[in-house]
Chain A
Amino acid sequence: MTPDFLFQAVVYLLAAVIAVPIAKRLGLGSVLGYLLAGVVIGPSLLNLVGRVEDVQHFAEFGVVMMLFVVGLELRPSLLWRLRGPILGTGSFQVIATAGAVTGIAILLGQSWPVAVTIGLILAMSSTAIVIQSLAERGVLNTRGGQACFSVLLFQDIAVIPILSVLPWLAHAHGAVPGEGAAHGHESALAHLPNWAQTLITLGAVVAVVIVAHYILRYVFRFVAEAKLRELFTAVALLVVAGVAYLMHLVGLSAALGTFIAGVVLAESEYRHQLEADVEPFKGLLLGLFFIAVGAGLNLGLVAANPGLITMLTLGLIALKFGVLLGIGGLFRMGGGASFLFASALAQGGEFCFVLLGMADQQGLLKSDIAGPLGAAIALSMALTPLLLIVNDRLIQPRFAKMGAPREHDAVESHDHPVILAGFGRFGHIIGRLLQANGFGVTILDNDPDQVETLGRFGLKSFYGDASRADLLEAAGAARAKIFICAVDDEARGLEIVDLVRHEFPHLRILARAVSRSHAYALISRGVMEFRRDTLGSALDLGTDVLKALGYRAHRALRATQVFRCYEEESVRELAKHFTNYEDASYISIARQQLQNFEALLREDLKRQHLGGEDAWDSAGPPKER
């Protein structure tokens, strides 16, 4: 590890740590914070960073991970339902935007191949910025958010044919390809005939689906059984990196490939754990990516041509905004959703840079065009968070005021009101009871065997460690109402309860107490809704014993009920005195309590009209009223 690497790490991390919280506090969102941090440390201002392009390439892996996580949250059935918007809205957006830009470029005196190239480049938007910004607002699942997502997904797919069209355009332009142009879109399959390339590419996608669907669960299980937390993280990252590499080999978009893998794994019982493991890497790399975009902003070039670049940037945003708004109207999204859709996607994106580089290599764009275009694209990306803030504050309130019905969630949210941690001998009974009554429960268990076994009986649960905040987050804790802690390990149970109380204070906690001292610990944490896991069934069996001893069934039940009342009260009372089982004062209080308890119990049982003898046989006036 070289000092230079450490210096770079310190610069990037420090910039993020300072800028992002400030941006968040000012209500600007994290994306803008990262971008500004990048501008500040970039070559134009402090010039603290080395080769920005390298960092950006590395950080693009964050975008790949983001698509994986997005895929994990999207079930295949939901994706299938989105096929209309993806193909319809998506293709329409690319064609309409590219067409409009091409027209303008021709009017400005460009040759048609150059104009088409610029059009195709500017049709792209920034998946990273848009999805992150929409997720932060919690609007990804609304009508407008879904439309954005569909368009971005289509662009991810469209990049591939666009890349292959560029050399052809260069040929039509009569351009002289620059250095390395032959390998512009380097694919390991380049030397094969077209049909073989297509076949292998399709084969790779099918392989990803099959492996993710049928084989990975065994790998996950094998790894999870090693009970090493970091190993599962490693295998999660391996899946993402492996798929990305394979896609790269066959010349497909890595983001698209991992997205597909994510969608397939969305049905897996390891989904929440995968999400929790990948999430922090995704967040950091994505942040790094935004910083790199900010740092890559060539302020020198902007300063040299302020008029041109301002016009290009504003023109780009205005044109895309207008086209998107038109599409929103055409597809009848409704006012609020249309404006969200238009505000979110009215920018250039990371694919623009890839395409710009390619066009440059092909000799399609001269640097006096590519330079200002690149700057305008980067500026439009940086302005997106601001545009979204304008949309939030000034535009959306109008639609709300007009009394338009609130946007409903287009995607059925699979967030359940109840999260159940622990699906063992105790928890699975609760889970089944709730499901039998039609309540949605998200079930977590950290034993892969248990998850697998119960899965075979049709009981769906997720493998995951509920003592991790990120996993609970992934399981929907922020939107749930009730948390059930049913794990059998006392210490882990308390750890989970502490975590939930701290991170998700809105959740009502109901807990399994494994022992008396465990119950005391729960009480000391203010968790009063607990049940000792053996009490109920021991009392049930006790009732049967009383019956076997000759009690009538109802009398036996009453005797048990009275006993239970005293027992529950005694635990809560003794909790006030408990320190440990060796403590003499606790022992004496407990003994005293127990004696009082039995005396009271006997008295109470005696007065019970069905258990005792006094009332009904005594000399009161009418016996059989």
Chain B
Amino acid sequence: MSSPAPGRVLILFAHPALHRSRINLAMMDAVQDLEGVTVRDLYEVYPDFHVEVSTEQELLVEHDVIIWQHPFYWYSAPALLKEWMDVVLEYGFAYGDEGRALHGKRVMSALTTGGPEDAYDRAGYNRFSMRELLAPFDQTAHLCGMKYLDPFILHGVNQFSPEQVTAAAASYRKRIQELLA
């Protein structure tokens, strides 16, 4: 693992079947070369779910903005990102009286969903809005003293044309550049 540049955006990317992904791969590719961005492909680093706590904590400390990038599986994150939260955001590090390591940092979710945007609504088949469903992420950030930014969401990605994929990746890159500025 290469040590991150004194960069500022840490993308924690979780996708268990990247070989079948189009959009998340394009998003990753779009931001990988940006200076100040560290991309961490969690399923590649920890195929056995054995997340190294100290390494991950050091990375968090070295960055200002954390991105949780993942497909929105079952209204939440793929299991490895949840595992990452469970073991890395320790008491005494991320929260608790002594746990101030993350204070003042910013967090953003970057999500892709299969369902269309209007499904995430009281009247839609998913019954809840995205912001409602993202409450656990929001609150996790909040408890750790971090600001939960407006999420970057791409809906209905299964129907994306190649042009739409390219455009979406470009807009993701733009958002990350704004965070770096």
Q: A615-B91, A620-B91, A622-B143 are in contact. Are A558 and B50 (CB under 8 A)?
A: yes
Question: What size tier do the contact residues of chain A reach?
Answer: 10 to 19
* Residues in A whose Cβ lies below 8 Å from that of B86: 609
Query: Is the CB of A614 closer than 8 A to any CB of chain B?
Result: yes
Contact with A along B20-43 (1 / 0, CB 8 A): 000000000000000000000000
Near A by CB (< 8 A), chain B positions 57-98 give: 86-87, 90-92, 95-96
Near A by CB (< 8 A), chain B positions 127-181 give: 139-140, 143
Residue pair B50, A621 in contact (C-beta under 8 Å)? no
Cβ 8 A contact of B87, one of A565, A609, A614, A622: A609
Query: Is the CB of B45 closer than 8 A to any CB of chain A?
Result: no
Task: Tell me the complex Cα distance, A565–B99, Å.
Answer: 27
Residue pair B143, A565 in contact (C-beta under 8 Å)? no
Contact with B along A390-425 (1 / 0, CB 8 A): 000000000000000000000000000000000000
* Residues in A whose Cβ lies below 8 Å from that of B52: 565
Query: Is the CB of A191 closer than 8 A to any CB of chain B?
Result: no
* Residues in A whose Cβ lies below 8 Å from that of B50: 558, 561-562, 565
Residue pair B53, A621 in contact (C-beta under 8 Å)? no
Scoring B86, B91, B92, B95 by chain A CB atoms within 10 A of each residue's CB, the highest score goes to: B91
Q: A565-B50, A620-B95, A621-B96 are in contact. Are A615 and B143 (CB under 8 A)?
A: no
Near B by CB (< 8 A), chain A positions 564-582 give: 565
CB-nearest residue of chain B to A622? B143
Task: Tell me the complex Cα distance, A561–B48, Å.
Answer: 9
CB-nearest residue of chain A to B99? A620
Task: State the Cβ distance, A342 to closest chain B Cβ, in Å.
Answer: 45
Scoring A565, A614, A625 by chain B CB atoms within 10 A of each residue's CB, the highest score goes to: A625
Near B by CB (< 8 A), chain A positions 127-150 give: none
CB-nearest residue of chain B to A608? B87
* Residues in A whose Cβ lies below 8 Å from that of B48: 561
Task: State the Cβ distance, A413 to closest chain B Cβ, in Å.
Answer: 25
Task: Tell me the complex Cα distance, A561–B143, Å.
Answer: 30
Contact with B along A581-625 (1 / 0, CB 8 A): 000000000000000000000000001110000110011111001
Task: Tell me the complex Cα distance, A573–B38, Å.
Answer: 27
* Residues in A whose Cβ lies below 8 Å from that of B91: 614-615, 618, 620
Task: State the Cβ distance, A187 to closest chain B Cβ, in Å.
Answer: 64
* Residues in A whose Cβ lies below 8 Å from that of B143: 621-622, 625
Task: Tell me the complex Cα distance, A614–B93, Å.
Answer: 13
Task: Tell me the complex Cα distance, A50–B90, Å.
Answer: 89
Near B by CB (< 8 A), chain A positions 522-571 give: 558, 561-562, 565
* Residues in B whose Cβ lies below 8 Å from that of A562: 50
Task: State the Cβ distance, B42 to closest chain A Cβ, in Å.
Answer: 16
Residue pair A607, B95 in contact (C-beta under 8 Å)? no
Task: Tell me the complex Cα distance, A621–B91, Å.
Answer: 9
Question: What size tier do the contact residues of chain B reach?
Answer: 10 to 19
CB-nearest residue of chain B to A617? B91
CB-nearest residue of chain A to B140? A625
Task: State the Cβ distance, A623 to closest chain B Cβ, in Å.
Answer: 10
Residue pair B90, A615 in contact (C-beta under 8 Å)? yes
Task: Tell me the complex Cα distance, A234–B90, Å.
Answer: 70
* Residues in B whose Cβ lies below 8 Å from that of A558: 50
Residue pair B87, A620 in contact (C-beta under 8 Å)? no
Task: Tell me the complex Cα distance, A625–B139, Å.
Answer: 10
Task: State the Cβ distance, B93 to closest chain A Cβ, in Å.
Answer: 10
CB-nearest residue of chain A to B86? A609
Task: State the Cβ distance, B135 to closest chain A Cβ, in Å.
Answer: 12
Task: Tell me the complex Cα distance, A565–B52, Å.
Answer: 10
* Residues in A whose Cβ lies below 8 Å from that of B53: 607
Task: State the Cβ distance, A617 to closest chain B Cβ, in Å.
Answer: 10
Scoring A608, A614, A620 by chain B CB atoms within 10 A of each residue's CB, the highest score goes to: A620
* Residues in A whose Cβ lies below 8 Å from that of B87: 608-609
* Residues in A whose Cβ lies below 8 Å from that of B99: 620
Task: State the Cβ distance, B143 to closest chain A Cβ, in Å.
Answer: 7
Task: Tell me the complex Cα distance, A562–B53, Å.
Answer: 11
CB-nearest residue of chain B to A623? B91
Task: Tell me the complex Cα distance, A621–B140, Å.
Answer: 12
Task: Tell me the complex Cα distance, A618–B98, Å.
Answer: 12
Task: State the Cβ distance, A212 to closest chain B Cβ, in Å.
Answer: 44
Task: State the Cβ distance, B48 to closest chain A Cβ, in Å.
Answer: 6
CB-nearest residue of chain B to A558? B50
* Residues in B whose Cβ lies below 8 Å from that of A608: 87
Task: Tell me the complex Cα distance, A619–B139, Å.
Answer: 19
* Residues in B whose Cβ lies below 8 Å from that of A622: 143
* Residues in B whose Cβ lies below 8 Å from that of A607: 53, 90
Task: Tell me the complex Cα distance, A614–B96, Å.
Answer: 12
Task: Tell me the complex Cα distance, A620–B100, Å.
Answer: 13
CB-nearest residue of chain B to A616? B91
* Residues in A whose Cβ lies below 8 Å from that of B92: 618, 620
Residue pair B90, A621 in contact (C-beta under 8 Å)? no
* Residues in A whose Cβ lies below 8 Å from that of B96: 618-621
Task: State the Cβ distance, A206 to closest chain B Cβ, in Å.
Answer: 51
Task: State the Cβ distance, B147 to closest chain A Cβ, in Å.
Answer: 19
* Residues in B whose Cβ lies below 8 Å from that of A618: 91-92, 96
Task: State the Cβ distance, B52 to closest chain A Cβ, in Å.
Answer: 8
Task: State the Cβ distance, A569 to closest chain B Cβ, in Å.
Answer: 11
CB-nearest residue of chain B to A560? B50
* Residues in B whose Cβ lies below 8 Å from that of A615: 90-91
Contact with B along A431-450 (1 / 0, CB 8 A): 00000000000000000000
CB-nearest residue of chain A to B85? A625
Task: State the Cβ distance, B161 to closest chain A Cβ, in Å.
Answer: 29
Task: State the Cβ distance, A533 to closest chain B Cβ, in Å.
Answer: 19
Task: State the Cβ distance, B41 to closest chain A Cβ, in Å.
Answer: 19
* Residues in B whose Cβ lies below 8 Å from that of A620: 91-92, 95-96, 99
* Residues in A whose Cβ lies below 8 Å from that of B140: 625
Task: Tell me the complex Cα distance, A614–B52, Å.
Answer: 18
Contact with B along A74-104 (1 / 0, CB 8 A): 0000000000000000000000000000000
Task: State the Cβ distance, A555 to closest chain B Cβ, in Å.
Answer: 13
Task: Tell me the complex Cα distance, A362–B109, Å.
Answer: 93
Would you list 28 pairs from A and B whose C-beta atoms are within 8 A, ordered by A residue? A558-B50, A561-B48, A562-B50, A565-B50, A565-B52, A607-B53, A607-B90, A609-B86, A609-B87, A609-B90, A614-B91, A615-B90, A615-B91, A618-B91, A618-B92, A618-B96, A619-B96, A620-B91, A620-B92, A620-B95, A620-B96, A620-B99, A621-B96, A621-B143, A622-B143, A625-B139, A625-B140, A625-B143
Residues on A facing B (Cβ under 8 Å): 558, 561-562, 565, 607-609, 614-615, 618-622, 625
Known: A565-B52, A609-B86, A615-B90. 6 other contacts (CB 8 A): A615-B91, A618-B91, A620-B91, A621-B96, A625-B140, A625-B143
Closest 6 CB pairs of A and B: A620-B91, A561-B50, A620-B96, A615-B91, A609-B87, A618-B91
